[in-house]
Chains A and B, each alone.
Chain A
Amino acid sequence: MMIDRKINQQISSPEELANVAAEQLAWQAQYQHRVFVCMGTACQSVQSGAVLTALQAEIKSKARENECLVSPGGCQGNCASAPLVSVPEQDLLYQKVQLSDAEEIIEALAGKPVGRLLCDNKSDFFTMQNRVVTNHRGLLNPESIEDYIAAGGFSALLKALTDFTPEAVVQELQKSGLRGRGGAGYPTGLKWSTVAKTRAEQRYVICNADEGDPGAFMNRSVLEDYPFRVLEGMAIAAYAVGASKGYVYVRAEYPLAVERVTKAIRNAEKHGLLGNKIGSMSFDFQVEIRLGAGAFVCGEETALISSIEGGKGLPCPRPPYPAESGLWGMPTLINNVETFANVVPIISGGAEKYATIGTPTSKGTKTFALSGSIMNTGLVEVPLGTSLRKMIFDIGGGVPDGHKFKAVQTGGPAGGCIPEEHLDATIDYETLMELGSFMGSGGMIVMDDSSCMVDVAKFFMQFCAAESCGKCVPCRVGTAHMHDMLDRITKGEGTMEELGQLESLCDVVKFTSLCGLGQGAPNPVLSTLRFFKGEYLAHIVGHTCPAGVCAPVGQDIRRPTCAL
């Protein structure tokens, strides 16, 4: 059962858009009570779909369809307490909701909340965040273009088309100080201006939604919850750089995101907000979706382009950068999902306002996927410049089960592990780099004293070796060698000489590999060697694993043990 209002008209001016928004708001207002059930991947995995149906059935059986509306909603952030149900007018969030709770929740709509299901939505986890990209969190039906428009959606696009020249959009982006959210933090406005300036008959816009970092799911969440916003950002970008064709490259492992984006494209086209003559202007922008097929390296921009062209995801040497010569040799703008999502608030609220958030060199907010050994796993969005300590101990709620914090890993397979003594460092591009880590796309994995840092380094090296495309020798062979060396160390077979060899291989692979995968692959080893060398020595010299991973604590790791 799907209770929704669907409009069927073309929207061709800001006035028409405002009318549609007003009508939708009026329609929403006729419901005294609104309830949202999270339909994100985590919540769906614990049957939030069934909870939604149960709540809707409950309303029907009580004949309250005219006053209550239960809608699918987006991710609330605290995925560990899934499934989540929110009641905005009561400012309530229910957690771990069961099918049998439906009756009580509906009954409580006008009165006293269901105490045993309440989630403390005034805790640090909720109050310390600053939501710009995910500002409607949970309270927007991700599949409803009407809801999105009612919440102000597409006004930035029509504003850009009517009030801004393409050059002015690029300037606005430059003023905002937005930097790419896909990892390296390249200034977005600068990239746009390069694409716009390169002469060509055709230009392309690509949204990089490959999100291959193991332990990161921000892009998935943004795509699932705000498919229209990402498309709106892409359309603004296309207008600014003069592109008429765009692609969203999504990994096949995200079926829900694929479905939502596909529907959103069709929906936006139906209303004249994508496709030909957007906003009745002479601006065309067609968007297609392309599926990845399980290759991490396809997140690298040149590899991604080869993959869209139908080939293997093999990176190419840069320069030329895609901004000058990309898809089918044409200038191509390629940005991350979250970068595009940030464009909308910049255009609608203005660059000055946007630039007040963050640090002098890292503007705005960033979403992070908090996971690992931490109380509040889930999706959070904080201003850049927030300290790691605040992130982990206030927002994240610290390490559970009496364990002790050991390190936080950021930046994925090209990142590093940051120990306790650096927790006061702030989260921004430069500081993380100085600590031998990397902003990456926003994965943040907390490790406690039960994680062995040599084992963690081995894990990442295995990942890189398995994901190496094989084109260049240092990455193809070097990562395999480094993995074997780390494996021998975790088995107590490593020597100090080999540790030296490992360090020098790190140097070779880092500086001679063709693309960012190989260049970043040594980082997890280098950073654990920098901060946790003692653990390596314990394995090599003492033949023990202090964390009890390679063998139970105190036992010789060389002896074959039964791990279970």
Chain B
Amino acid sequence: MRVVTLKINGQEMSGRDDEDILHVAREHDIEIPTLCQLDGISEWGGCRLCLVEIEGSAKLSAACVTKVSEGMVVNTESERLAGYRKTIVEMLFTEGNHVCSVCVSNNNCELQDMSSDLKIDHISLPYRYPLRTVDASHDLFIFDANRCILCTRCVRVCDEAEGAHTWDIAGRGIQSQLVSDLHQPWGESTSCTSCGKCVEACPTGAIFEKGKAAGEMVKDAKFLVYLAEMKAEKS
């Protein structure tokens, strides 16, 4: 491991070469939008919101999975990036069925926050209105597929932090869907330990506690960082 110096948005800084751009930027109070990234679990690189420009490269790079290197010159904000990010969030809104006013996570939703941060005032892409279901078979929790953005945070948290691997994505492409075990009702899952980590990890109102009314679900996944650190300490 080495310490490298780099420039993000014109600001000189240093970081370790095993760190990614996202974390080095955050340490220096530069916020890059993210959705699929969650501290304490592995990186995924799927939402593409954290894309940044790196000087000398024609391609955009996902900050959450790109390691910093000596002399790197990064730009996290531009009109082009803003446009791309907006369209991607629009895509997420049109892919599922998101009705914020009735959602348990209204005002506590990362997707909602993202759209206000990016100043999205209307959706210009056509809604796809997919047919999706709500699984309320679990004693404690509910999974509403209409609000799922397929970020796989629950899949990773369940596999990596809890070790149960109850969740996974079935199918592919636009047909992808979150399933538990062999696509059984969640309540019949033999692997689920009812630990509730997926509830905290889910950025929207897709996985939530039973009995919560609109706007009542508040999530906090900070404990994952401690879990990960303690695990690393042990090994």
Q: Which residues of A contact B (CB under 8 A)?
A: 295, 312, 316-317, 319, 465-474, 476-481, 484, 501, 504-505, 508, 511-514
Q: Are B45 and A470 in contact (CB under 8 A)?
A: no
B48/A512 in contact, CB under 8 A: yes
The answer to whether A508 touches B84, judged by C-beta atoms less than 8 angstroms apart, is yes
Q: A residues within 8 A CB of B65?
A: 317
Q: Chain A interface: which of B87-95, B184-192, B203-211?
A: B87-95
The verdict on A481 contacting B91 (CB below 8 Å), with A467-B173, A470-B172 known, is: yes
Task: Give the contacting residue for A476; candidates B59, B125, B150; CB below 8 A.
Answer: B150
B68 CB, nearest partner CB in chain A, Å: 12
Q: State whether the Cβ of B214 lies closer than 8 Å to any Cβ in chain A.
A: no
Give the residues from 100 to 153 in chain B that come closer than 8 angstroms, CB to CB, to chain A. 124-126, 128, 149-150
Q: Is B33 an interface residue (CB 8 A)?
A: no
Q: How far is the CB of B122 from chain A (nearest CB, A)?
A: 13
A508 in contact with B87 (CB, 8 Å): yes
* Interchain residue pairs with CB less than 8 A apart (14): A317-B66, A465-B174, A467-B172, A471-B46, A472-B45, A473-B46, A473-B91, A474-B88, A477-B94, A477-B174, A481-B126, A508-B83, A511-B60, A514-B48
Q: How far is the CA of A466 from the CA of B171 in the complex (A)?
A: 10
The answer to whether B92 touches A473, judged by C-beta atoms less than 8 angstroms apart, is yes
Q: With A484-B126, A508-B87, A511-B60 in contact, do A472 and B174 touch (Cβ < 8 Å)?
A: no
Indicate which residue in A312, A317, A466, A480 contacts B128 across the interface (CB closer than 8 Å). A480
Please give the distance in Å from A90's CB to the nearest CB on chain B: 53
B87 — which chain A residues lie within 8 A by C-beta? 474, 504-505, 508
Given known contacts A484-B126, A501-B125, is B88 in contact with A469 (CB within 8 Å)?
no
Q: Does B179 contact A (CB under 8 A)?
A: no
B4: interface (CB < 8 Å): no
Chain A residues with Cβ below 8 Å from B124 are 501
Is there a chain A Cβ closer than 8 Å to B62's Cβ?
yes
B88 touches A508 (CB 8 A): yes
Chain A residues near B169 (CB-CB < 8 A):
470
Set A480, A504, A514: member contacting B174, Cβ < 8 A: A480
* Interface status of B47 (Cβ within 8 A of chain A): yes
Interface flag for B78 (CB, 8 Å): no
Residue of A nearest to B80 (CB): A511
Interface contacts (Cβ under 8 Å), in number, total 91
- Chain B residues lying within 8 Å of A505, measured Cβ to Cβ, are 87
Partner-A contacts on B (CB < 8 A): 44-48, 51, 59-60, 62, 65-67, 83-84, 87-88, 91-92, 94-95, 124-126, 128, 149-150, 169, 171-176
**How far, in whole Å, are A474 and B65 apart by their CA atoms in the complex?**
17
With A470-B150, A481-B91 as given contacts, are A511 and B173 in contact (CB-CB < 8 Å)?
A: no
Most buried by A among B44, B48, B95, B124: B48
Cβ contact within 8 Å between B84 and A295: no
- Please, how many angstroms separate the alpha-carbon atoms of A501 and B83 in the complex? 13
Q: How far apart sit A206 and B183, CA to CA, in the bound complex (Å)?
A: 34
Q: Which among B91, B94, B171 has the greatest number of chain A C-beta atoms within 10 A?
A: B91
Give the chain A neighbours of B47 by CB distance below 8 A: 472-473
Give 4 A-B pairs besides A465-B174, A468-B174 with Cβ atoms closer than 8 angstroms. A317-B65, A473-B91, A477-B174, A512-B48
Which residue of chain A has its CB nearest to the CB of B130? A480
> Do A512 and B174 form a contact, CB below 8 Å, given A470-B169, A472-B45, A472-B47?
no
| Residue from the set A295, A469, A513 with the largest chain B CB neighbour count within 10 Å | A469
CB A510 to nearest CB in B, in angstroms, measures 10
**Inter-chain contacts of B149 with A (CB < 8 A):** 473
Residues of A within 8 A of B94 (CB): 477, 481
Closest residue of A by beta carbon distance from B125: A481
A474-B91 contact given A317-B62, A468-B173, A511-B84, CB 8 Å threshold: yes
Q: Is B60 touching A512 in the complex (CB atoms < 8 A)?
A: yes
**B48 close to A474 (CB less than 8 A):** yes
Residues of A within 8 A of B83 (CB): 508
B227 to chain A, nearest CB (A): 24
Closest CB of chain B to A353's CB: distance in Å? 35
Once bound together, how far apart are the Cα atoms of A476 and B174, in whole Å? 5
Residues of B close to A473: CB separation below 8 A: 46-48, 88, 91-92, 95, 149
Scoring A466, A477, A511 by chain B CB atoms within 10 A of each residue's CB, the highest score goes to A477
A512 to B86, CA, bound (A): 12
A477 contacts B45, C-beta separation under 8 Å: no
Enumerate the 8 nearest inter-chain pairs by beta-carbon distance, A residue then B residue, closest first: A470-B176, A477-B91, A468-B173, A480-B174, A317-B65, A317-B45, A508-B87, A470-B172
Can you name the residue of chain B whose Cβ is closest to the Cβ of A513? B48
Asked if residues B91 and A479 are in contact (CB atoms below 8 Å), the reply is no
Roughly how many angstroms separate A468 CA and B91 CA in the complex, as a whole number? Answer: 15
Q: A477-B91, A512-B84, A514-B48 are in contact. Are A468 and B172 (CB under 8 A)?
A: yes
- Say yes or no: A469 contacts B172, CB within 8 Å: yes
With both beta carbons as reference points, the residue of chain B lying nearest to A480 in the complex is identified as: B174
User: Residue on A with the closest CB to B86?
Assistant: A508
Q: In the assembled complex, how far is the CB of residue A481 from the closest CB belonging to chain B, in whole angstroms? A: 6
Q: How far is the CB of A301 from chain B (nearest CB, A)?
A: 16
Question: What's the least CB distance linking A506 to chain B, in Å?
Answer: 11
- Verify B173–A470 contact, CB threshold 8 A: yes
CB proximity of A168 to chain B, nearest CB, Å: 32
What residues of chain B lie closer than 8 Å to A471, measured between beta carbons?
44-46
The docked-state distance in angstroms from the alpha carbon of A61 to that of B25 is 83
A512 touches B173 (CB 8 A): no
B173 touches A469 (CB 8 A): yes
A206 to B9, CA, bound (A): 40
Verify A478–B173 contact, CB threshold 8 A.
no
Contact between B173 and A466 (Cβ–Cβ < 8 Å)?
yes
With A469-B172, A469-B173, A512-B84 known to touch, is A478 a contact of B91 (CB < 8 Å)? Answer: yes
- Across the interface, which residues of B come within 8 angstroms of A478, CB to CB? 91
- Kindly state the separation between the CA atoms of A470 and B155 in the bound complex, as whole angstroms: 15
B143 CB to closest chain A CB, in angstroms?
18
Contacts of A480 in B (CB 8 A): 95, 128, 173-174
Once the chains are docked, how many angstroms separate the CA of A514 from the CA of B62? 9
CB-nearest residue of chain A to B124: A501
Determine how close the nearest CB of chain B comes to the CB of A294; give it in whole angstroms: 10
